[in-house]
A and B are shown apart, each in its own frame.
Chain A
Amino acid sequence: MKLFFEMFYAFFKIGTITIGSGFAMLPIIQHEVVDKKKWFSESEYMDILSVALSCPGPNIINLNVYLGLKKLGFWGFFAGALGTILPSFILILIIAIGFQNIQNNPYVIAAFKGIKPASVALISVPAISMAKNAKVLNKFIFIPLIIAALIVYMNVSPILFIACAIAFGNLIFKKK
């Protein structure tokens, strides 16, 4: 039960302070559960992240719920789910009720002009460590980049790549 609250608090804290994009949470989550709490090894975390990104739904929910389940089972599920959803839910309700014009506040606008480019860095860094962990950097550094370019510039659905990975992963790697 102590671990439940510790876990809930960790996810809740991350949910409360991370702005910019859900993916900007990735380096913070990794730092918390791998480096600080040592609940998972780095490669364990990376594999869970790969699963979370391959499943439908909000990716950060997928990730935190899976991390919770793996570490603590039934209660971990709730720690991951509630810890991730509640901060958003509470903050948005407060804004919806009392601060509907927050996005037009000149200070908020100015702050976000600074945060946006920084949050691109917050997403790029975990992408690179994922590519490194996939051991594609030496020979096939271009594979994740090509996938990213096709999704963004050619509007290819991410589902296609996930389906291909599941279908062809076994064909390609079978020999080894």
Chain B
Amino acid sequence: MLLSLFLTFFKIGLFSFGGGYAMLALIQSEVVTKHKWLSIGEFTDIIAISQVTPGPISINAATYIGWKTTNSWIGSALATFGVALPSFIVIVLMFLFLAKYNNSNFVKNTFKALRPTAAGLVFSAALLLMTKENFIDAWSIALFLGSFILLQKKWAGAITLIFVSGLIGILLYGP
């Protein structure tokens, strides 16, 4: 079980590109559909928890699913290590490669094309969250625009914005 948990999350880490939300589909197909470690209801709960907890969603989900399936922190640690290990390997290799070939024309030209592509990937993460579930009324649009302007003009920091918008959320929608 522990080995299979580790290998599954290693695979998830290795084959996911483009951010946490893209990973969730892969995690679901492995953990719910293939291995049947969790029901779809349990999976949805775990995703909800991962989203309200600080940190990258994939790490959160791996830690939680590791706990849920084995009831021990060792399961959590293995799933988390599994999902991060491909990153470690690939990034070390990339680092060594780029340290050696940083000034080659091949690398320079590739970067020219990679920069706008990477900007596109980040835009896609923002676009993915522009849904009716996240923008429920005029207040949410105001919160988005307000945060956008404050951050873009560097009038407020990101951490301040998270806390203030959470507080506004409680005032507007709280019990």
Instruction: List the interface of chain A (C-beta within 8 A of B).
Output: 15-28, 31, 46-47, 49-62, 65-66, 69-70, 77, 81, 84-85, 87-89, 91-93, 95-97, 100, 102-103, 106-128, 130-131, 133-136, 140, 143-149, 151-152, 157-159, 161-162, 164-166, 168-170, 172-174
Contact = CB atoms under 8 A, between A and B. Distances in A.
Contact of B120 (A57, A88, A146, A172): A146
Q: Which 8 A-B pairs have the closest CB atoms?
A: A114-B169, A147-B120, A169-B113, A88-B55, A57-B87, A158-B18, A134-B115, A148-B123
Contacts of B166: 111-112, 114-115
A119 B129 contact: yes
A20 to B, nearest CB: 7
B88 interface: yes
B122 A126 contact: yes
B161 interface: yes
B129 A127 contact: no
Contacts of A92: 49-50, 53, 55, 60, 63-64, 67, 76
A148 B127 contact: yes
Given A21-B125, A118-B162, A66 B172 contact: no
Nearest to A120: B129
Interface residues of B, number: 97
B173 A109 contact: yes
A151 B68 CA distance: 32
Interface string B103-128: 00110111111111111111111111
B127 to A, nearest CB: 5
16 contacts: A53-B118, A59-B20, A84-B56, A88-B54, A93-B76, A106-B175, A117-B141, A117-B165, A123-B129, A125-B152, A127-B123, A130-B118, A148-B123, A148-B124, A158-B22, A161-B121
A56 B109 contact: no
A20 B170 CA distance: 15
Contacts of A148: 120-121, 123-124, 126-127
B175 A107 contact: yes
A21 B57 contact: yes
B157 A165 contact: no
Interface in B59-82: 59-60, 63-64, 67-68, 73, 76-77, 80
